[in-house]
Amino acid sequence: MNRTAKSDKVRIHSRKVSIKDPYTIFYISDIHNRLINDQTLAKIKDVDAVIIGGDLADRRVTGTKLSRNVKRLQTWGAPLYFIAGNNDYEFKSEHIISFLRKKGVTPLSNEWAYLGRSGLTLSGIDPYFSEASIPALLSSQKANILVVHEPVILKEFPDDVYEIYDLILTGHTHGGQIRIFGKGPYSRGRWEDGVHTSFLNSEGYGTSLVPLRLGTAPEVHLIRLTPH
């Protein structure tokens, strides 16, 4: 179970969206107290943006460990974006938002950002440091990505969120983390392609207070967006 908790999987996904050139996103969530394995990152090339989908830290994480993880996620020289999770407020060295900004990370707290010249917008919902809201989109002609740590929060918003966004990224559940006879407190992580939206619920990279996994996998995601 301890070995399973460190047996990283690189999941590769793809979707066609309204952009001019291919764009590759590295997505990771629920790192918690794990140190990211640089050998896992070394397998991945040509990343255009890194998105951290929450629970980058918890009460166990030191400033030194968090700095090391950020540095490893900067290995491709791509911009880093952070959307908060429910455990990130526990980070004690400094307010995590301020800490990450000093490290060159862009936090999105009910805000959006352009992803360079890609024709993509990235929006982040944050109910932990402020009241949750969906950021106003820049243009209906752009391809849009939404990140929210807990997928259940999407139920607080109108169903047309699945028509507005081309890609929705979530985490939090760890896929149940420990599953007995295939059963756990949450369903397994998944990637689903809909008519308008692809939806990802990651099983996450780290673990909660119990540093074990059974029937789930620590995973990171390489999302390849290509033009229509």
Q: What is the pLDDT of residue 118?
A: 87
Helices (H), 117-184: 161-164
List pLDDT tens digits, range 112-150.
999 988 889 999 999 999 888 888 765 555 799 999 999
| 90 Cβ contact list (under 8 Å, min separation 6) | 57, 58, 59
Mean pLDDT of the chain: 93
Residue 105 carries which side chain, given as an amino acid letter? V
Q: What is the pLDDT of residue 164?
A: 87
The CATH superfamily holding the domain 4-227 is: Metallo-dependent phosphatases (3.60.21.10)
List pLDDT tens digits, range 1-46.
667 778 899 999 999 999 999 999 999 999 999 999 999 999 999 9
Cα distance between residue 110 and residue 133, in whole Å: 6
Tell me the pairing of strands 111-114 and 167-170: unpaired
Q: What is the pLDDT of residue 139?
A: 56
Task: Enumerate the domain spans of the chain.
Answer: 4-227
Residue 226 has pLDDT above 80, yes or no: yes
